[in-house]
Structure 1
Amino acid sequence: MTIELKKVNIEDKEILRNLLEKYDYEFSQWDNRDVNKLGLYGYNYLDCYWTEEKRWAFFIVVDGNLAGFVMINDYPEVDEVTDYSLAEFFVMYKYRRSGVGRFAAMKVFDMFHGKWQLKRHPKNIASVHFWNKVVSEYTKSNYKLIESYPNSVYNDGTLGDIILFTS
């Protein structure tokens, strides 16, 4: 299996928008978000990935097929200084539990050296286990977990967990 990260260029924006809808649909089981009048979730910051510095989007590609995406920015939700925030991370079902997500996460951490933060919804148990395992392995257990961080509220009112580490 060949796994790679491919930068999302502006001409690929609609592809990313389509994948974001699938991601948001799945995530709505935890954050209870509704669709808009067009039946879409929408992603308010999508255009910013081509109009602002310090925003990066990558497709996860497996054997030439789209398998998900990674979106990174520098907008922390914590009071601590960080360089990067894992804004969105999505691996399609077909590619889960095969090492694709682990590879993509570690590749991104290696590409962007510095202080990281990632936010996870505590009700998304699969995500909780995934990030605990991946970040622990990547950092050799040298990270900080802040559960129910006060300034990280999801649409359903749940406080997000924040993981801080350095790559």
Structure 2
Amino acid sequence: MNIELKRVSVDEKEILKNLLEKYNYEFSQWDNRDVNKLGLYGYDYLDCYWTEEKRWAFFIVVDGNLAGFVMVNDYPEVNEETDYSLAEFFVMYKYRRCGVGKSAAMKVFDMFHGKWQLKRHPKNIVSVHFWNKVISEYTKDNYKLIEAYPNSAYDDGTLGDIFLFQNSTL
């Protein structure tokens, strides 16, 4: 299985927008978000990935097929010093539980060296187990996890868990 990260070009923005709808639909089971009057969730910062520096969007491609996306920026989720934040991460069902997500996460971490933040929703149990395993393995257990971080609430009011780690010396 060949797993690649491919930078999303501005011409491919509509494809990413479509995948973000699938991602937000799935995530709404945890954060209780509603769709807008057009029946869409939307993504307020999508255009910023082509108009602002320090925002990167990548497709996850498996054997030439679109399998998900990763979005990185330098905006901290919480008041902790950071260079990079994993803004969004999505792997389609067909590609889950076969190493695609782990490989994509590690590839994107390897691309950007510095201090990282990653926020997860504690009700998303599959994500909790996934990120515990991936971050632990990637950092060789050299990370900090703050559960229910103050001022990190999702739309449903649940406080997010925040991973903090640095990979510049890994």
With structure 1 as the length reference, what TM-score do the two structures score?
A: 0.99
Q: CA deviation at 1:77?
A: 2.0
Deviations 1:20-58 (A, max 9, x none): 000000000000000000000000000000000000000
1:11 aligned partner = 11
Write the mapping of 1:1-167 to structure 2, written as runs, cut at 5 A.
Answer: 1-167=1-167
Q: CA deviation at 1:10?
A: 0.1
- In the alignment, the residues of structure 1 paired with residue 151 and residue 87 of structure 2 have an alpha-carbon distance, to the nearest angstrom, of 15
2:61 aligned counterpart, secondary structure: strand
Q: CA deviation at 1:132?
A: 0.3
Amino acid at match of 2:105: A
Across the two proteins, how many residue pairs are aligned to each other? Answer: 167
Q: CA deviation at 1:79?
A: 1.9
Q: CA deviation at 1:80?
A: 1.8
Amino acid at match of 1:32: N
Deviations 1:106-140 (A, max 9, x none): 00000000000000000000000000000000000
1:162 aligned counterpart, secondary structure: strand
Deviations 1:51-84 (A, max 9, x none): 0000000000001100000000001022221000
- 8 Å Cα contact 1:74/1:82 also seen in 2: yes
Deviations 1:143-163 (A, max 9, x none): 000000111110000000000
Stretches of structure 1 that go unaligned for 5 or more consecutive residues are: none
Q: Once the two structures are aligned, what percentage of the paired residues are identical? A: 86
Stretches of structure 2 that go unaligned for 5 or more consecutive residues are: none
Which runs of 4 or more aligned residues in structure 1 lie more than 2 Å from their structure 2 counterparts after TM superposition?
A: none
- 8 Å Cα contact 1:77/1:151 also seen in 2: no
- In the alignment, the residues of structure 2 paired with residue 77 and residue 111 of structure 1 have an alpha-carbon distance, to the nearest angstrom, of 20
Give me the CA root mean square deviation.
0.5
With structure 2 as the length reference, what TM-score do the two structures score?
A: 0.97
- In the alignment, the residues of structure 1 paired with residue 129 and residue 24 of structure 2 have an alpha-carbon distance, to the nearest angstrom, of 20
- In the alignment, the residues of structure 2 paired with residue 155 and residue 79 of structure 1 have an alpha-carbon distance, to the nearest angstrom, of 19
Amino acid at match of 1:40: L
